[in-house]
Structure 1
Amino acid sequence: MKTLKIATRQSPLALWQAEHIKARLEQLYPDLTIELLTMTTKGDKILDTPLAKIGGKGLFVKELEQALFDKRADIAVHSLKDVPMELPNGLTLGAYCEREQPTDAFVSNHFATLDDLPIGAKLGTSSLRRQCQIQQYRPDLQIVSLRGNVGTRLSKLDNGEYDAIILATSGLTRLGLTDRIRHELDTDVSLPAVGQGALAIECRADDDEILDLLKPLNHEISKICVLAERAMNRHLQGGCQVPIAGFATIHDGQIWLRGRVGSVDGKILLKSEHHNALLDPNTQAMIDEQIAESMGIVVAEELIAQGADKILAEIYHNS
């Protein structure tokens, strides 16, 4: 292979992510010519409607996936939290890159923390997951839909349309905008989205040459964690734009997974947590990743037993 083409959206953050992967591949393979194929997705075009009502975050990846099928591109770089739980037949995630900070960031020009917002303040977010958790924590706040790329959202805040907004810490970090972060929300207040902060590289499942090229970009710890989170979401039959949170971490050879499902108004917030050994105590070798996926199913089943399926069914019915 002499030339590799990367499909990417045209937003500044998506371009940063694609350029980041391009640079890493160029470092690994100096003789490889790498080009970007930029495109605008349906999710980028429809900005006046909440994502949940137009099909969820999968709208950000479909055009990129079609470029893979058409062989106009060899790989596509995604924010993993935008990638649907089920991939089209013939495509696979060839690499899970090392995760950036996965928290939610509180951004405001006048208030230092979420707790400092006055009663009735306008808080902007595009995420039902953030909305349900923050409404549980601060039911007095007015949650207002906020769409657009990072720059657009910050401009709306700066124009006084919101008292504060919530964005992904990882996106602000990658764009060099950490100075806009007033504080990171504690995961007890706002548990991250499934896959938040991680980049994934999608490719054709039968393209062994590409899969071999991508192997050095895979970060095993990040992969294990997001596989557990995605297994939970898949078992809940949840998409990318529903009030489901899932976050896995690894400590002392144990993988811990927390999951949440909530009603959009924040009046109900179901929680589950589970942990399991991930390292062989004798060899310290990583145990089969199926353990992480099985744990995701266990957490999902606990949430279903609490009524998560009914909450999600109602949300799908009303969207």
Structure 2
Amino acid sequence: MPVNPHPSPLVIATRESRLALWQAEHVQALLRARGHTVSLLGMTTLGDQILDRSLSKVGGKGLFVKELETALQDGRAQLAVHSLKDVPMELPEGFALACVMEREDPRDAFVSPTFASLAELPHGAVVGTSSLRRQVLLQALRPDLRIEPLRGNLDTRLRKLDEGQYDAIVLAAAGLKRLGLDARIRTIFDPTEMLPAAGQGALGIEVRTARYDLIEALAPLAHWPTWLTVTAERAVSRSMGGSCSMPLAAHARLEGDQLHLDAAWGDPEGRIPLVRAHAAGTVLTLEQANALGQAVATQLRAGGAIGVAGAADSASAG
């Protein structure tokens, strides 16, 4: 039975890519099952429009959420559903991350029509990604490869691969699985090889801070273990300068009440070797998760990692 049979109608602001719409429709179905009337407001963000340049050169991944936040601010929508790895570490004043949902597979996927794994790629093969995180990790694994930019939504990236522009591409496994494209995955990278981005595979729901009613309504959709792990991951990035779009990886796993957090930072120019850090501790609260992330960021800086002021931004929309 619906929990609340007469709630106010809700509008979800969402990007119009197939994956973004899947995510919004997933939240829509969950809220409808709880008695809410929910519709979608599809929007094209600036990040979707700019396809000829790396996002690091035009403002970072925050370009994927700005228009959605404007819709929340002017009342056209009440909530926005985001891939959490696209959400900036610091939200604008008046906005809150009200819910983090259970995570899909957080790992990266190797996709190629010809080769079964990264190890099988020939010397000098072309791999597509516009994520500086993936670039530095790929360079650490296979410095002989050519890493070329790859922009566009998931379907566009797969089309460019199929047209022969790349020998392989690297995508988030979560997006492929959510759209039923598991068959395109040749190999899923172990996190010890390709450490995921902070928040990868998790969905976050953003609302206006003053909407306590919405925050309460979204509470049943939240997944606390995921919220703890992504909070620690995002704290690493925040502590490194407040940007979610730098050559930085952070991935946490919860074992009982012990949170294990790994992070890596790389120099896209190859002047500084890959820097890795790890910490573990008892984490029961978001404050403890934040503290663990800050400790790992301190380790990265001690190892030579450069914060956002000295590091280029990266971009990864899929």
Q: TM-score, normalization: structure 2?
A: 0.94
Counterpart pick for 2:275 among 243, 258, 270: 270
C-alpha distance in structure 1 between counterparts of 2:195 and 2:278, whole Å: 12
C-alpha distance in structure 2 between counterparts of 1:223 and 1:56, whole Å: 23
CA shift in 2, pair 1:123/1:186, >3 Å: same
CA shift in 2, pair 1:169/1:318, >3 Å: closer
Contact kept in structure 1, 2:247 and 2:312, CA below 8 Å: no
- Matched residue, 1:43: 47
Contact kept in structure 1, 2:107 and 2:191, CA below 8 Å: yes
Counterpart pick for 2:62 among 58, 62, 66: 58
Once the two structures are superposed, residues 34-78 of structure 1 have per-residue CA deviations (whole angstroms, 9 ceiling, x without a partner) of 110111000000001011111111100000001111111000000
Runs of 5+ unmatched residues, structure 1: 279-286
How big is the shift at 1:318? 12
Is 1:20 aligned with 2:26? yes
Contact kept in structure 1, 2:19 and 2:175, CA below 8 Å: yes
Alignment of 1:239-318 (within 5 A): 239-266=243-270, 268-278=273-283, 287-309=284-306, 312-316=308-312
Moved more, 11-20 or 233-242: 233-242
C-alpha distance in structure 2 between counterparts of 1:210 and 1:119, whole Å: 53
How big is the shift at 1:317? 9.6
- Say which SS state the counterpart of residue 306 (structure 2) adopts: helix
Contact kept in structure 2, 1:67 and 1:73, CA below 8 Å: yes
Runs of 4+ in 1 over 3 A off after TM superposition: 316-319
Counterpart pick for 1:202 among 192, 206, 223: 206
- Say which SS state the counterpart of residue 206 (structure 2) adopts: strand
C-alpha distance in structure 2 between counterparts of 1:22 and 1:269, whole Å: 41
C-alpha distance in structure 1 between counterparts of 2:309 and 2:216, whole Å: 41
- Say which SS state the counterpart of residue 49 (structure 1) adopts: coil
How big is the shift at 1:315? 2.8
- Matched residue, 2:183: 179
Contact kept in structure 1, 2:245 and 2:314, CA below 8 Å: no
Runs of 5+ unmatched residues, structure 2: 1-6
Moved more, 48-57 or 137-146: 48-57
Contact kept in structure 1, 2:132 and 2:313, CA below 8 Å: no
CA shift in 2, pair 1:316/1:150, >3 Å: closer
Whichever residue aligns with residue 25 of structure 1, its letter is L
How many percent identity over aligned positions?
Answer: 51
- Matched residue, 2:4: none
Moved more, 185-194 or 266-275: 266-275
C-alpha distance in structure 1 between counterparts of 2:142 and 2:314, whole Å: 24
Whichever residue aligns with residue 22 of structure 1, its letter is Q
> Please, what is the CA RMSD of the aligned residues?
1.5
The count of aligned residue pairs is 308
- Matched residue, 2:83: 79
How big is the shift at 1:33? 1.4
